Amino acid sequence: MKMCVVAARSGSKGLPDKNIKPFAGRPLLAHTVDQAVQSGIFDIIAISSDSDRYLDIGREAGANLLVKRPDELATDFVAKPPVLSHALRTAEMEAGLEIEMFFDLQPTSPLRTPGDIPAVAQKLEANTELLNVVSVARAKASPYYTLVEETVDGRVELSKPGLQYGRRQDLPNCYVLNGSIYAWRRQPIVDQRPALTERTGFWLMADECSFDIDTPLDFAVAAFVATHHFGWPETR
C-alpha cells in the first residue's frame, strides 16, 4: 500500500498563509494534491494540517484522508519527522493495514510533474538497499569553487576544502535537495529518521520544476515560471 501526505501547517511568518495562497488559479497546496492524484500510484492521499480550512481545501483538491494535526505538532519548533509519523499512524488506523511506501510531498513545490512521483517510487522499489529516495536539482554553486563559510575569526573559506580541481568538468556531480519529493519505506518513518540516511538515493528533477516557495520573491518567480514556461493560468 502506498500513501502520500501533504503536510500544510496554517500560518507562515515569511509569507502569510503561503500554503493556501492563490497560485495559478488555485490554493497553492491544491496543486500538490492534484499531482498526487494524477500520479495514479497512491492508495491514500492525506492532507495533514492544524487548520480545518486547509483540510477542506485538501479534500476538495482530491485528498481522501484528512489528518487533523494536534497542537503539539503545529508549532514553529516541531521538526518534520514527528508530523510524518503521526500521519502514517493515523492512516494505518483508518485503513487497518500497514503502509509499505510513504511519500512526503511538499505543498510549497507546485511545479513538480506528476510523472516525477512514480519515477521516485520505481527507484525505491527497484533498489532494496535504499531506505528512501529524495528529489534533487543540479547545484548552481559548486562547494569546490564558490561556496564559502565564515570562520570563527571572521574570515571566509571554502565549505568543501581539501580537493583542488583544475577544470570544472572534473568536479564530482553536486546536487541540492529541492524539497519536492521524499519517498520512504515504512520503518524509517516509524523511527522518525532524518531525510538523509546512510542509504538514501536521489531522483534528479529539472531546474524549472524545482522551485521551493518560502518568500514573496520565491512565490513571484515560481508564478512567472508557471505562466510563461508551463502555460498555467496567470497568478493574480
What residue ranges do the domains of the chain occupy?
2-139+174-228
Residue 6 in contact with residue 107, Cβ under 8 Å? yes
- Residue 62 pLDDT exceeds 90: yes
pLDDT digits (tens, 9 = 90+) for 75-132: 877 889 999 999 999 999 999 999 999 999 999 999 999 999 999 999 999 999 999 9
Q: List, in order, residues 6 or more apart from 45 with CB less than 8 Å away.
A: 3, 4, 6, 33, 36, 37, 62, 63, 64, 65
59: its cell numbers = 479534500
By CB neighbour count within 10 A (0-12 exposed, 13-18 middle, 19+ buried), where does 101 fall?
Answer: buried
Query: Is 2-139+174-228 a CATH 3.90.550.10 domain?
Result: yes
Compute the average pLDDT of residues 169-183.
91
pTM of the model: 0.93
pLDDT digits (tens, 9 = 90+) for 13-42: 778 899 999 999 999 999 999 999 999 999
